[in-house]
Structure 1
Amino acid sequence: MADDAGCAAFKWPVTREQALFPAAPAARPGATLETEAAADLSLEPIDTVAFEVAPERPPASGTFGATASLVVPPEGTIQITLSDEAWIDVIQDGRAMKSVGFSGVKTCPGIRKSLRFKLSAGPATIQLSGAKQANLKVAVLAPE
């Protein structure tokens, strides 16, 4: 992936994602995502996905989604980056958590958006919805 001006338009660097996405291993819906890593997550038709909490933005018919588990590290702040357009909800303790930062760029090849969340250490669920394709590359990193 070329590091062009489009990728430099993100509010924070996405060079780690550019390095991780090409070799991201395949992951199935419901997988546990590792921190400081990326996965090529398979998605399912949106009407077949069971979300823990209804997505904040209702997904359009004919789109795709999935859930994945995550163990939040003690530091608590994570950055989730997606290769393409989709809605991200992070659920912890039964409720949707608000992002503390967002950056989205349509001109960066292979990277579309990146969000930051301040969470408690422990389990969380990432809910992806509204994707137009049946897979997404997802990176879960500590912010730089």
Structure 2
Amino acid sequence: MKKVVISLFALLAGTSFAMAEDAGCEAFKWPVTREQALFAAAPATPAGAELAVGAAADLALVPAEKAGFTLPPERAPAQGTFGAVASVDVPAGGAIQISLSGEAWVDVIQDGKAIKSAGYSGVKTCPGIRKSVRFKLAAGPATVQFSGAKKAELKVAVLTPE
């Protein structure tokens, strides 16, 4: 009888874990299905490149101390982490959503000033997507800084919020 109870418990626990794993992406405050599709075919992109709104890039990062940040990141990067600077042309309306495949800090700079995020959602149980951050900006050029990444590559999607 004990073996049956333990096996049933293990089966239910495994099912619950699998369901939680599948539901991981649903835990974001907004849908991330566009990012999932874009990340699958994100082209390799060097640091310093322009990020297109409506697309994703597999961004090559450099050691944080060599990233050439325009302003110091809001959260100082730990020793041995990676970063990059990129640009984006913010569309009319000014709202953008930047989603990342892994852990990293995102700063957006416009007109020489760091812009506070307008919304944030982060989930550790969504395969391939770690966080999504929204910003309200003026239309025109902006600088995006990524810092504190533990790996030298980071998939990044820049979208208009749904």
Letter in 1 for 2:159: L
Deviations 1:32-68 (A, max 9, x none): 0000000000000111111111000000000000000
In structure 2, how many angstroms separate the alpha carbons of the residues matched to 1:79 and 1:4? 23
- The higher-RCO structure (CA 8 Å, 6+ apart) is 1
Letter in 2 for 1:136: L
Alpha-carbon distance, 1:136 to partner = 0.2
Stretches of structure 2 lacking an aligned partner (at least 5 in a row):
1-20
Bigger radius of gyration among the two: 2
Match of 1:45 in 2: 63
Offset from partner CA, 1:85-125 (integer Å, 9 cap, x none): 00000000001000000000000000000000000000000
**Partner amino acid for 1:123?**
P
Match of 1:72 in 2: 90
Q: Give how far 1:75 is off.
A: 1.4
One-letter amino acid of the counterpart of residue 42, structure 2: A
Structure 2: distance between partners of 1:34 and 1:49:
20
Name the structure where helix makes up a greater proportion of residues. Answer: 2
| TM-score (ref. length: structure 1) | 0.97
Specify which structure has the higher proportion of strand.
Answer: 1
Aligned Cα root-mean-square deviation (Å): 0.8
Amino acid at match of 1:14: V
Q: Does 1:82 align with 2:93?
A: no
Runs of 4+ in 1 over 4 A off after TM superposition: none
Residue type at the aligned position of 2:22? D
Q: Please state how far the C-alpha of 1:4 moved relative to its aligned partner.
A: 2.2
TM-score relative to the length of structure 2: 0.86
Given the alignment of the two structures, is residue 16 of structure 1 paired with residue 53 of structure 2, yes or no?
no
- Matched with 2:159 is 141
1:111 aligned residue: 129
